[in-house]
Structure 1
Amino acid sequence: MIELDGLTKRFGTKTAVDHLTFSVRPGIITGFLGPNGAGKTTTMRMVLGLDNPTSGSVLIDGKRYDQLKDPLTYIGALLDAKAMHGGRSAYNHLLCLAQSNGIPKARVTEVLDTVGLTAVARKKAKGFSLGMGQRLGIAGALLGDPRILMFDEPVNGLDPEGIHWIRNLMKSLAAAGRTVFVSSHLMSEMALTADHLVVIGQGRLLADTSMADFIRNNSRSYVRLRSPQRERLLDVLHEAGITVVETGSGALEVDGGSAEQLGELAASHHLTLHELSPQQASLEEAFMRLTAESVEYHAHSDPHRTLEPGQAAEPHRAAEPHQAAAPESQPWGSSWQQKNRKGA
């Protein structure tokens, strides 16, 4: 389990993470969502001890990351697919990690096979595509057979087969009782993968709830009806005290009633229905609605937009401070990596 309690991180005058408190539980996949600049990566870096909190705490199975002996056997993480020595082969990259964490050498071959990189195990990582780098990073996360897995944008660069593979891998890990914490901007993929959601905006917690409750609480759900006896159906619905929204397409939209109840009501009045369909917003629509006030980086839809006289252009905004501060940080966060960065 990962437990955050009042976790806060400031970079100068900027508060990147603002008193976050939540838990990531075993046995389910917890999705970590937020707009760009919301503080997701900073939060994950603090979990791994790569950034020190300004205040608050984060515990992994009851301990701080720096208190873990052989940390890869407790938590495996992928934060940056490029965080590896390009001159090392895939095999040697994983072997160095294994040796620094007391992991048997045989495990290297096992995880290379798991992620589908056996055929290129002796090739140098600098020649890998983004998708191959992602697979190697995932192999590193799995290396210590940890109880906790943490992934930041794990499907980035993967082809459809790879996306399907990592989705099923995360589900199997959660089904085995492991803790799986995953951040992604791909809402359609998150909707297929996550059971629970933690959503932040501008460093603050916005939601900590199940996927179903998140969509239900942050979107409009309704039932769409279509009938050749439209006017009679309208009368029946109004007589029952049901509020109806008429659309330009001829369909009727009903809030606050179930499809079953409306179907039975129409049948009791011998009305023919050509459509009776419950409608619910997608995860993306619910997310956009909840985070509308927390978006820090706004784009303009009109590429030819011109400024009004006297109107200043919006200044270019830099990325989160931690991204510039530690571009070469490894996802496992060990001091060993810092001492051996230039090893073969």
Structure 2
Amino acid sequence: MIELEGLTKRYGDKLAVDRLTFSVRPGVITGFLGPNGAGKSTTMRMVLDLDNPTGGTVLIDGRHYRQLHNPLRVVGALLDAKAMHGGRSAYHHLLCLAQSNGIPRSRVREVLDTVGLTPVAGKRTKGFSLGMGQRLGIAAALLGDPQILMFDEPVNGLDPEGIHWIRNLMKSLAAEGRTVFVSSHLMSEMALTADHLVVIGQGRLLADTSMSGFIAENSRGYVRMRSPDQERLKDVLSGAGITAVPGTEGALEVQGEDAAHLGELAARHRIVLHELSPQRASLEEAFMRLTAGAVEYHAHANHQPPPPAAPGPAWGDDWRKKGS
């Protein structure tokens, strides 16, 4: 288990993490969400003693990370997939980590096979693609067979097969009773992966709840209704004290009512329905609503960037010579 109590980090006048208190429990996948600049990476670095807190504490199974003997056997982490010596092969990168933590050499081959890098185990990592580097970082996190795993943007650079693989891997690790703490900006993927959510904004805790609870509390659910006799449907709903508002594609949207009840009401009045569909709010919608006031960097849709400068003759000639 990872336990944060009043964790705070200040860089000069900038308060990056503001008195965070929450726990990451075993047996579930805990998603860690927040806008850019919210303090997620700083928090994860403090868990691993890569940054010193200004205040508060963070404990791993009751101890500070620096107090762990052979820490890779307790915590496996992927924070930066590029954190490797480019001149070393994938095998020797992992072997160096294994030898520093008393991990058997045989384990290196096991994790390379787990992440699908056995065919390139002897290749230097400087030639690895982003996805290959990501897989190697995951292999390093798994190396010590730890009970606690932390992943920062684990699907970055992975193809669809790789995304499906890491999602199932995290689920299997949690099912084994391990603690899995994962940060990502991909809401669609987090919705498929996480059981519990911790959401922060501008360094402060905004939510610490289940996935279903988070969506229910921070978004709007409704029922869509469409009929060829839309005006009569509106009158029937209004007569029953039900408020319907116009939606997309000519549909009506009704909040606070059960779809079955609405369908029965339409049937009693012999109104044909072309659509009667409950709309479950998305994680993305819930996240945007909750963090709207905690976004540090705002883009403006009406901003038009300047046109790119035309390449000079020399650049163009060189480009054609290279056949790019």
Question: TM over 0.5: same fold?
Answer: yes
- Residue segments in structure 1 that go unaligned for 5+ positions in a row: 307-344
* Partner in structure 2 of residue 131 of structure 1: 131
Tell me how far 1:89 sits from its aligned partner: 1.1
What pairs up with 1:198-237 in 2 under 5 angstroms? 198-237=198-237
The 1-side partners of 2:239 and 2:102 are apart by 73
* Partner in structure 2 of residue 110 of structure 1: 110
Contact 1:36-1:297 at 8 Å conserved across structures: yes
* Change over 3 Å in CA distance of 1:246–1:66 after alignment to 2: same
The 2-side partners of 1:138 and 1:248 are apart by 43
Residue 140 (str. 1) matches residue 140 (str. 2): yes
Q: Deviations over 1:73-123 (max 9, x none)?
A: 111000000111111111111111111111111100000000011111111
Tell me how far 1:249 sits from its aligned partner: 3.8
* Partner in structure 1 of residue 79 of structure 2: 79
* Partner in structure 2 of residue 192 of structure 1: 192
SS in 2 for 1:122: coil
SS in 2 for 1:223: strand
Q: Which moved more, 1:60-69 or 1:226-235?
A: 226-235
SS in 2 for 1:292: helix
Q: TM-score, normalised by structure 1?
A: 0.86
What pairs up with 1:9-88 in 2 under 5 angstroms? 9-88=9-88
SS in 2 for 1:156: coil
Tell me how far 1:14 sits from its aligned partner: 0.7
Tell me how far 1:248 sits from its aligned partner: 6.7
Specify the code of the residue in structure 2 equivalent to 1:256.
Answer: G
* Change over 3 Å in CA distance of 1:9–1:227 after alignment to 2: same
Tell me how far 1:61 sits from its aligned partner: 1.1
SS in 1 for 2:250: coil
The 1-side partners of 2:118 and 2:3 are apart by 36
Tell me how far 1:20 sits from its aligned partner: 0.5
Tell me how far 1:194 sits from its aligned partner: 1.1
The 2-side partners of 1:248 and 1:57 are apart by 49
* Change over 3 Å in CA distance of 1:232–1:142 after alignment to 2: same
User: Structure 1 vs Structure 2: percent identity of aligned residues?
Assistant: 79
Contact 1:219-1:280 at 8 Å conserved across structures: no
Q: Deviations over 1:3-47 (max 9, x none)?
A: 111100011111100000111111111111111110000000000
Tell me how far 1:304 sits from its aligned partner: 2.5
The 1-side partners of 2:251 and 2:89 are apart by 60
- Residue segments in structure 2 that go unaligned for 5+ positions in a row: 307-324
Tell me how far 1:289 sits from its aligned partner: 1.5
Q: Which moved more, 1:114-123 or 1:282-291?
A: 282-291
Specify the code of the residue in structure 2 equivalent to 1:181.
Answer: F
* Partner in structure 2 of residue 333 of structure 1: none
Specify the code of the residue in structure 2 equivalent to 1:49.
Answer: D
RMSD: 1.5
Residue 99 (str. 1) matches residue 99 (str. 2): yes
Q: Deviations over 1:139-163 (max 9, x none)?
A: 0000010111100011111111111
Tell me how far 1:302 sits from its aligned partner: 2.7
SS in 2 for 1:6: strand
Tell me how far 1:305 sits from its aligned partner: 7.3
Contact 1:29-1:179 at 8 Å conserved across structures: yes
SS in 1 for 2:293: coil
The 2-side partners of 1:231 and 1:124 are apart by 68
Specify the code of the residue in structure 2 equivalent to 1:134.
Answer: Q
The 2-side partners of 1:152 and 1:249 are apart by 39
Higher helix content, 1 or 2: 2
Specify the code of the residue in structure 1 equivalent to 2:119.
Answer: A
* Partner in structure 2 of residue 241 of structure 1: 241
The 1-side partners of 2:43 and 2:246 are apart by 46
What pairs up with 1:279-290 in 2 under 5 angstroms? 279-290=279-290
Q: TM-score, normalised by structure 2?
A: 0.91
* Partner in structure 1 of residue 319 of structure 2: none
Q: Which moved more, 1:68-77 or 1:278-287?
A: 278-287
